[in-house]
Amino acid sequence: MAAQKTVQDYIRTIPDFPHEGILFRDVTTLFQDARGFRLAVDQLLSPYVGAQIDMVVGLEARGFILGGAVAHQLSKGFVPVRKKGKLPARTIEQEYKLEYGHATVEIHDDAVEPGQKVLIVDDLLATGGTAEAGIRLIERLGAEVVGCAFVIDLPDLGGRARLEGMGVPVHAICSYAGL
């Protein structure tokens, strides 16, 4: 009998993308396999079944795919946090640092309500900059982030420590050493 596949078995690694020396963890191969995708969604949401969560927030862009599926399984609403200029109604924005420069993400200013409990979902946790920006947006709207869930954690880049240092619990299905 063959061993059961893990989520990590479905993730493709592409060397030297987008820059030399980077090992890019490609989750599109996970998404395209029905069993792999189901396994990932089930493992992302498992710590939160029965928890008080009012809304799931997905970070652009692969967090939309995962967050939407998690929200559906938890029977909760879904809210996107998008790159600046992509949302049609009134927004608030949060700038964050990139390796070279800055980026800005936005959320509709009526996307979550004060006091709501929010779960943030994305595919990968590296330095934690995007997730921190998402947390700050949600907190500025008066809601509480009860956790962040990721398929992949790159612990050597410090994102988990950064988010946990903000008091936000982190759940990741798998991790990879290095970049």
Q: What is the pLDDT of residue 55?
A: 98
1 domain-assigned? no
Range of the domain at 95: 7-175
2 domain-assigned? no
Q: What is the pLDDT of residue 179?
A: 63
Q: What is the pLDDT of residue 142?
A: 98
Q: What is the DSSP string of 77-144?
A: EEEEEEETT--SS-EEEEEEEETTEEEEEEEETTSS-TT-EEEEEEEEESSSHHHHHHHHHHHHTT-E
Q: What is the pLDDT of residue 74?
A: 98
In order along the chain (179 residues), what is the average pLDDT of each group of 10 residues?
A: 90 94 95 98 97 98 98 98 98 90 96 98 96 98 98 97 98 91
Active site residue 99: yes
pTM exceeding the 0.85 threshold for the entire prediction: yes
CATH number of domain containing 171? 3.40.50.2020
**Out of 25, 38, 60, 62, which one is annotated catalytic?**
62
Total domains present in the chain: 1
Q: What is the pLDDT of residue 3?
A: 83
* HEC readout, 49-93: CCCCCCEEEEECCHHHHHHHHHHHHHCCEEEEEEECCCCCCCEEE
Q: What is the pLDDT of residue 2?
A: 73
Active site residue 62: yes
